[in-house]
């Protein structure tokens, strides 16, 4: 035993928690449980959190001012090393927290060993993740705004382009293409707000919870809160180290965002098809087929649609991971990172890419127009015309339906009928019927608040621009 003990002890000492152990960790187990390969992206947050903690320890006279200063200077050096790509991350040291702490101790000696006083990795990782989440939410919100701007831009440029609006993917009523784009602006506005909610829940300071129960040292959590610019501190130490709600909320908000982008993608893909032929994507945003020379595939929207599944998968994985977990920290919680980080990278990419797709999209106004002209999406307007001449709506609906049927049998459209033909269906028809069923009339008469008329869409665009201006100054 003594021989083994000696052989192992050299290795054991490289472990920051090695004191209790006689054997070193199995190499495969070590690889299995280490998180450094993915949590190294928390290095800035980890160092900022440790600097605040060291300042607090000195302020509360738990460590000396001199030691705190050494710690802070050392951590700043380590930050620079990491940013210059000169830091050697080690899987042996498991995670970002122990990599940084070990490097600090190697650099400054004994004072480094005092940093972890009154702290556990459990509250440390929670702090890092809260800081990281706050930063990420703001980056995501900026990208949402960029996409919203490109939608508003495209809406303005194509303000009076008329297309069929659909229900059941059947042509329903004429609308403005700009109105359609502005619907996505509104969806993204709710996404933005949802992420603000995530920010609020991430803006709570967990450090000081220790491993689970608080600490025997006279710490000052309010000081750390202020130092790191948090709004609140967690009021229950068990909750502080177990809470992953803010991650679940981020993944939920991300999933809903991706559902919106996926719906937009689906429409873009349909519109690019020869069957619709409403838009053409920029060459720079498409790829060709290795076999069929004529193809120009909308891969980017397809991929965004596909990636929605991936992000929703991460939400599911996290929900299932947290479900049934007893308080407080369990290693299962380390699984909060890879899916989250991948979801973050994915939504950021998709938002950036989509802003470009919209900006580069060529709108084929004549084809959209034809899809309106060569169909019956003005049938509601014909019924409304009769109602305005005092016919009850149910009866007007019946007359319009019969007229549509009459046209279909003859292979013509409503506008092609003579006034006499109209009159055989109702004596309420006059020469003004032709104007009433023109696409422009159909669109511009839908002037109810939030409707598709040019005036209403112009109002939407104005409100959107004010929204951008207000958000910048907020
Ligand atoms: N790498 C760990 C995580 O991401 C840090 C916390 C570990 N705490 C522990 N007691 N094992 O969750």
Any atom of ligand 1 within 6 Å of the Cβ of 34: no
Q: pLDDT grade, residue 5 (50/70/90)?
A: very low
Sequence-distant (≥ 6) Cβ neighbours of residue 98 within 8 angstroms: 16, 121
pLDDT of 472: 81
Q: Residue 6 pLDDT > 80, yes or no?
A: no
Beta bridge pairs of residue 205: 233
- The alpha carbon of 320 and the centre of ligand 1 are apart by a number of angstroms equal to 19
Cis peptide before 328 (omega within 30 of 0): yes
Over the stretch 210-269, which tens digit does the pLDDT of each residue have? 999 999 999 999 999 999 999 999 999 999 999 999 999 999 999 999 999 999 999 999
As given in the structure block, the two tokens for residue 265 are 């993608």
Q: pLDDT grade, residue 12 (50/70/90)?
A: low
For residues 304 and 261, the answer to whether their CB atoms sit within 8 Å is: yes
pLDDT of 11: 52
CA distance 5 to 10: 9
pLDDT of 286: 82
- The alpha carbon of 35 and the centre of ligand 1 are apart by a number of angstroms equal to 8
Residue pointed to by tokens 């907020």: 474
Averaged pLDDT of the chain:
95
Q: pLDDT grade, residue 290 (50/70/90)?
A: confident
pLDDT of 315: 98
Higher pLDDT, 291 or 156: 156
CA distances from 69 to 104, 113, 128, 160, 227 (A): 12, 14, 21, 64, 16
Over the stretch 345-388, which tens digit does the pLDDT of each residue have? 999 999 999 999 999 999 999 999 999 999 999 999 999 999 99
Nearest CA to ligand 1 atom 12: 334
Q: Among the listed ranges 1-5, 40-44, 87-91, which one has the minimum average pLDDT value? A: 1-5
Residue pointed to by tokens 């959590």: 221
Over the stretch 438-458, which tens digit does the pLDDT of each residue have? 999 999 999 999 999 999 999
Q: What percent of the chain has pLDDT over 70?
A: 97
Active site residues: 168, 289
pLDDT of 2: 40
Residue pointed to by tokens 């995501």: 140
As given in the structure block, the two tokens for residue 16 are 């920051």
Q: Please state the length of the chain.
A: 474
As given in the structure block, the two tokens for residue 333 are 């919680």
CA distance 403 to 390: 18
What is the end-to-end Cα distance of the chain in Å, rounded? Answer: 67
Any atom of ligand 1 within 6 Å of the Cβ of 334: yes
Out of 18, 99, 121, mutate this one to test ligand 1's pocket (max ligand atoms within 8 Å of CB): namely 121
- Angle in degrees, CA 121, 245, 191, rounded to 5: 125
pLDDT of 9: 45
Any atom of ligand 1 within 6 Å of the Cβ of 121: yes
Q: Residue 4 pLDDT > 60, yes or no?
A: no
The whole-number average pLDDT for the span 178-202 is: 98
Any atom of ligand 1 within 6 Å of the Cβ of 244: no
Say if strands 279-280 and 362-363 run parallel, antiparallel, or are unpaired. Answer: antiparallel
CA nearest to 243, candidates 209, 214, 220, 217: 209
pLDDT of 473: 77
Q: Residue 423 class from Cβ within 10 Å (0-12 exposed, 13-18 middle, 19+ buried)?
A: middle
CA distance 109 to 452: 70
Q: Residue 88 pLDDT > 90, yes or no?
A: yes
Q: Residue 19 pLDDT > 70, yes or no?
A: yes
Side-chain half-sphere of 157: how many Cα atoms within 13 Å? 14
pLDDT of 25: 80
Q: Among the listed ranges 23-37, 157-171, 422-436, which one has the minimum average pLDDT value? A: 23-37
């Amino acid at each position: 035993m003594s021989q083994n003990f000696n052989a192992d002890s050299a290795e054991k000492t490289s472990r920051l928690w090695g004191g209790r152990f006689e054997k070193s960790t199995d190499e495969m187990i070590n690889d299995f449980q280490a998180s450094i390969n993915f949590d190294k992206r928390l290095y800035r947050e980890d160092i900022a959190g440790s600097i605040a903690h060291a300042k607090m320890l000195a302020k509360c006279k738990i460590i000396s001012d001199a030691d705190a200063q050494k710690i802070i200077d050392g951590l700043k050096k380590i930050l620079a090393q990491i940013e210059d790509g000169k830091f050697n991350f080690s899987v042996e040291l498991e995670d970002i927290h122990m990599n940084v702490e070990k490097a600090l101790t190697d650099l400054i000696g004994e004072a480094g060993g005092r940093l972890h006083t009154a702290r556990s990795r459990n509250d440390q990782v929670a702090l890092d993740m809260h800081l990281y989440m706050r930063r990420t939410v703001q980056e995501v919100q900026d990208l949402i705004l960029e996409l919203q701007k490109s939608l508003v831009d495209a809406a303005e440029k194509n303000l009076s382009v008329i297309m069929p609006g659909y229900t059941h993917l059947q042509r329903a009523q004429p609308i403005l293409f700009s109105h359609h784009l502005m619907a996505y602006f509104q969806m993204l506005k709710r996404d933005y707000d949802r992420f603000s909610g995530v920010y609020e829940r991430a803006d709570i300071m967990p450090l000081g919870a220790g491993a689970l129960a608080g600490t025997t040292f006279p710490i000052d959590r309010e000081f750390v809160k202020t130092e790191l610019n948090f709004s609140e501190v967690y009021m229950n130490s068990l909750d502080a180290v177990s809470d992953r709600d803010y991650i679940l909320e981020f993944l939920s908000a991300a999933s809903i965002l991706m559902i919106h982008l996926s719906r937009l993608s689906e429409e873009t893909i349909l519109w690019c098809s020869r069957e619709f032929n409403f838009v053409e994507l920029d060459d720079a945003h498409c790829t060709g087929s290795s076999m069929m020379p004529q193809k120009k595939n909308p891969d980017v929207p397809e991929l965004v649609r596909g990636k929605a599944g991936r992000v929703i998968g991460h939400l599911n994985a996290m929900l299932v991971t947290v479900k049934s977990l007893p308080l407080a920290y369990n290693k299962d919680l380390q699984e909060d990172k890879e899916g989250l980080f991948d979801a973050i990278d994915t939504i950021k990419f998709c938002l950036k890419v989509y802003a470009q797709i919209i900006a580069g999209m060529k709108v084929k106004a004549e084809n959209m127009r034809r899809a309106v002209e060569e169909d019956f999406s003005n049938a509601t307007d014909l019924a409304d015309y009769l109602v305005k001449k005092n016919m009850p709506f149910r009866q007007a609906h019946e007359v319009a339906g019969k007229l549509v049927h009459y046209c279909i049998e003859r292979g013509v459209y409503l506008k092609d009928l003579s006034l006499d033909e109209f009159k055989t269906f109702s004596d309420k028809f006059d020469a003004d019927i032709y104007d009433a069923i023109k696409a422009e009339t159909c669109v511009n008469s839908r002037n109810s608040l939030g409707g598709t008329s040019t005036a209403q869409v112009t109002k939407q665009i104005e409100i959107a621009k004010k929204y951008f201006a207000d958000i910048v100054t907020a």
